[in-house]
Structures are given as C-alpha cells and as structure tokens.
Amino acid sequence: MLVAAAKRRRIERRPALLLAALATGALVACRVPGFLLPEGELLRDVYLRGSSAVPTVALTFDDGPNGRCTEAVLDALAAQRVQATFFVLGANLAAGHNDALLARMVREGHTIGIHGHTHRVRPLFHAHLIAGEIHAALEAVDRSLRRAGVPDPPRVTFFRPPFGLVTGITARAAAAAGLALVEWTVSVGDWQAGRRADEVTAAILARVRPGDVIVLHDGDETHQRSEERCVDRGVAAETVGLLVPALAARGLAVVPLGELLGLVAR
Ligand SMILES: [Zn+2]
C-alpha cells in the first residue's frame, strides 16, 4: 500500500516537473511571459491587480535602471505628475552608473521593487539560488542609494521575478525575505523591436480596466547600452506621455502600486 502510494505520488508529480522543464525552455527561447501553477499556498502572497471597483491603475517598469532611458521615463512621469514602480535588477546597479537615477526615484515618490539580480530563470527553481538573487538585489539597491546620498533608504517590499515566472520555491523565498510578489495584468510587448509609442499606447488602451497593473520596460535585462543616450527602450518614456492623459480621459488615475493593491494606507 505504502509503496503503491509513493509510486502514485511520483507519477502525479511528473506532469508538473515536465511542465516546469518545458516552460523553462520556452521562456529562455521565446521570452514567453509568466504563468502560474497554484499548488499549495503558492499564490497566497502573489498580487496581480487592484480592485476593479476603483478607477485606478498602476504603471510599472522592469529591467532598469538603464541610463538615459530611465531618465527619460522619470522626466515623462514628472511631466504627467504621476508615480510608478521600478522593478530594478541588482546587477544594473553594481557599476554605480545608475545611482543618481535610483535616488531620483526615491526623491520623486516612486517605488523601488526588485526584479532579481541577474534576470536568470534557473535560480527560480533552486531555493539557495533564488535566496541569493534576492539578497544580492536588495543589497545592491541599498548600497546604490547610500552611495547617492540617501541616508535612510526606504525598505523594498515588492519582488517581480524575471518573466513573471512564479515557482513555489520563489514564492517561499520572497515570503522569507518579507517581499510581496507582484505580477501584472497588462503587457503588450513594448520590448519588441520596432514598436512605436502610439501602437503600444493603443494596445494598452484596448484592454485596460480599472485595477490593472501595466508593465513597460525601461531596460533590457542586464544590458547597459544607454548610458550616453537611450538606444534600446525609447518607447517607454514616449508611451508615458501618451498613455497617462488618455487614461485620465477615461477616468482612470495612475496611482502608486502599494495604493492600488491596498497594501498601504491611502
Ligand atoms: Zn524582465
């Protein structure tokens, strides 16, 4: 009986393992966005969106900071008088080139979350690796802000895994580090080569609903090609300039992520 039960458990586990292996290959090969397997308490601390009864949305930016591209996004957000969340990669802070941008985010009321240290998928399946990624990214943010003269950096509370891929191992590591996992509900492939800001804006407007979390990209993983001028993510800043007024015209206000998700007092 016991042997039969153990064998059955092994067989039952196989589809999930196979799916995970296939998904890893697909993610690496095609940049397919994340998916969720809600086993156990996997989704307990995963946040997707705010209330659909409140006419607000949140803007989030992944893969930065990235030199002039991030600077342009900050300029656009300031011009529109809205605040966003930047899911940064620790590795992008290591060289110190983006310290002033990170400090500006804090100064201008934006939220800093982490997106991992290296943007690799493999650590998401290994407890010690993902714990190391989270620790390294948090350390990098803290060191960068202190270098830039922010004496008491705000605590980072949000983690968006690379590709939005949530595994049980990642969820447990995030919880252990006191981080909430935050996904998105609107992604329109702004990172694809050749996209124009008006197209990206139209695609977002075609699907956006109250409570949505919108993802855009101010960086391209750990490639740092925009120190002198924004060469790889120019569409993000221009999209902000088009999108925020269009959302307002529909009665949708852009609010900080913590407020949208009900995680901070309004
Ligand atoms: Zn990313």
Tens-place pLDDT, residues 92-109 = 998 889 999 999 999 999
Task: Share the mean pLDDT of the chain.
Answer: 88
Residue 36 belongs to some domain of the structure: no
Average pLDDT over residues 116-123: 96
Q: Is the pLDDT of residue 14 over 70?
A: no
Q: What is the pLDDT of residue 228?
A: 81
**Whole-number percent of the chain with pLDDT over 90:** 73
Q: How far is the CA of 182 from the centre of ligand 1 (A)?
A: 13
How far is the centre of ligand 1, averaged over its atoms, from the C-alpha of 70 (Å)?
14
Token digits of residue 81: 């008088």
Percent of the chain with pLDDT over 70: 85
Residue whose entry in the numeric block shows the structure tokens 């509900």: 185
Q: Are residues 155 and 231 in the same domain?
A: yes
Are 5 and 83 contained in the same domain?
no
What the block records as the tokens of 23 is 């998904």
Alpha carbon of 163 to ligand 1 centroid (Å): 5
Q: In this structure, are 69 and 8 located in the same domain?
A: no
Instruction: Report whether pLDDT(123) > 70.
Output: yes
Residue 38 pLDDT class (50, 70, 90 cuts): confident
- Angle at which helix 127-147 crosses helix 168-176, to 10 degrees, equals 40
CATH number of the domain that 253 lies in? 3.20.20.370
Residue 40 lies in a domain: no
Q: Are residues 56 and 112 in the same domain?
A: yes
Residues 53, 6: one domain?
A: no
Tokens matching residue 29: 């090969």
Q: State which residues form the domain around 26.
A: 1-30
Same domain, 14 and 69: no
Is residue 130 in a domain?
A: yes
Domain contains 265: no
Asked if 25 and 103 sit in the same domain, the reply is: no
Same-domain status, 168 and 53: yes
| 183 shares its domain with 112 | yes
pLDDT at residue 22, rounded to an integer: 54
Assess whether 76 and 126 both reside in one domain: yes
Task: Work out the end-to-end distance of the chain between its first and last CA atoms, rounded to an integer number of angstroms.
Answer: 56
240: pLDDT strictly greater than 90: yes
- 246: Cβ contacts below 8 Å, ≥ 6 apart: 201, 205
Residues 54 and 6 in one domain: no
Mean pLDDT computed over 208-218? 97
- Indicate the pTM of the whole model: 0.86
In angstroms, what is the span from residue 29 Cα to ligand 1's centroid?
Answer: 14
Answer yes or no: is 147 within a domain.
yes
Q: What is the pLDDT of residue 232?
A: 84
pLDDT in tens, 146-204: 999 998 899 999 999 999 999 999 999 999 999 999 999 999 999 998 899 999 999 99
Tell whether the model's pLDDT for residue 86 goes beyond 80: yes
Active site residues: 62, 217
Strands 253-254 and 85-88, by their bridges, are unpaired
Residue 12 has pLDDT above 50, yes or no: no
Give how many domains the chain has, as a whole number: 2
Q: Give pLDDT, residue 43.
A: 85
44-53, 107-116, 206-215, 228-237: least confident range: 228-237
Range list of H helices, the chain? 2-30, 67-80, 99-107, 127-147, 168-176, 197-207, 234-249, 257-260
pLDDT band at 227 (very low <50, low <70, confident <90, very high): confident
The secondary element (H helix, E strand) that includes residue 213 is strand 213-217
Q: Is residue 78 domain-shared with residue 191, that is, in the same domain? A: yes
The answer to whether the CB of 258 falls within 8 A of the CB of 61 is no
Whole-number Å distance, alpha carbon 185 to ligand 1 midpoint, is: 15
